[in-house]
A and B are shown apart, each in its own frame.
Chain A
């Protein structure tokens, strides 16, 4: 089974500053998909960003941008201009062509006013 590693259990950032959350994964496949999900205190999972492995261009969604390094098997999430509403657990996920998803253990992000 593929593994997804988030090595930062907790992170904090000052409001309006930038923070980067790390994610690495282990796979022997060449075609796969990567996702970042946000889980706020309500525990409702929300998609933040997604990336196709065969696309070299990094995905972006407003203040959220990915840094995809295929050779290094790294998929980090950068949050710019952090807002109080960004405080949440963030999960990195890997999906293979067999439709299985694998999640990391999560990073708890605190936003300091």
Chain B
């Protein structure tokens, strides 16, 4: 089946540790996105990538890093510099052929909790 997978579903981290969230898609989409979701704040863009080996910062990139070495994969690292990392993280992808009319497809999300 085509889709987006995120792992793990739940993740616990001790303060001061870096942690990497996985996002994989087999939809052959060029663009991939990472969002953070907090109660009452909707989805906020962390990073996005429109092509392999290229990515741009979103509105809240501080304390996060990404890589895009393969078209299918867009992992997100939450570093110890992120002051309040406990949140729900959503990965999305989108085909760019045809322009922005194409919707984003979302993964099931990862809930990160800092202990």
Contact = CB atoms under 8 A, between A and B. Distances in A.
Contact of A52 (B59, B92, B96, B101): B101
Contacts, number: 51
A105 interface: yes
B30 to A, nearest CB: 9
Contacts of A45: 90, 92, 104, 106
B100 A96 contact: yes
Chain A, interface residues (CB within 8 Å), range: 20 to 34
Given A9-B40, A99-B50, A32 B108 contact: no
A99 B42 contact: no
Interface residues of B, number: 26
Interface of A: 1, 6, 9, 32-33, 35, 42-45, 47, 50, 52, 91, 95-97, 99-106
